[in-house]
Amino acid sequence: MKQQSQWILLISTSIVSFMSTLDASIVNIAVPKMSRDLNVPTNQAEWVVSVYLVLICVLLIFFGKLSDQIGRIPIFQVGTLIFIIGSLACGLSLNLPLLITARIVQAFGASMTMSTNFGIITQIFPSNKHGLALGVNSSFVQVGNLAGPGLGGLILAYFNWHYIFLLMFQLV
């Protein structure tokens, strides 16, 4: 594979990794506002955060094994599409059950991408570049984790909570 193609794929997988982890951390700051806007107790609104994280953890091994059987890139591509659809559905949700259902969809997509991104990277890069490529991807992941609360606060200062999900839809 050409070196330029390797880097394009690395940046593509890293952007999706960034969005998946950003989405996990950006929602935390919006829970109180969601609770008020959806007229539900905070402990119920917290399911929006929990269902996403728990489902990703539960599905990682399954999608990793499935990607070994049918290919990492197709699982990653379908996962990216599902994640985008889930993000749009979250942004358009008008009640808690719809929002939680959309987060479940989003988590399915995120787990598909998270379970395959390292495998894709090690598949397309020569072994002497694995450390560099995986380090780049891991940096995107950590920036996503760190940026979430600040970006979420900035968005919530000017817009309603729906925009934290619509941002995901627009950036991917």
Q: Quick: pLDDT tens for 110-155.
A: 999 999 999 999 999 999 999 999 999 999 999 999 999 999 999 9
Q: Supply the DSSP symbol for 168.
A: H
How much is the pLDDT for 170?
58
Domains, the chain, with CATH or none: 41-171 (1.20.1250.20)
The DSSP symbol for 46 reads T
pLDDT (0 to 100) of residue 68: 94
**Three-class SS state of 136:** helix
> Own/partner pairs for 36-41, CB < 8 Å, 24+ apart?
37/160, 37/161, 38/95, 38/96, 38/99, 40/96
DSSP codes joined into one string, 83-115: HHHHHHHHHH--SHHHHHHHHHHHHHHHHHHHT
Distance CA 35, CA 116 (A): 34
The amino acid at residue 20 is: S
User: What is d(CA 76, CA 27) in angstroms, rounded to the nearest whole number?
Assistant: 23
Task: State both tokens at 85.
Answer: 């659809």
User: Does the pLDDT value for residue 94 go beyond 60?
Assistant: yes
- Quick: pLDDT tens for 37-82: 999 999 999 999 999 999 999 999 999 999 999 999 999 999 999 9
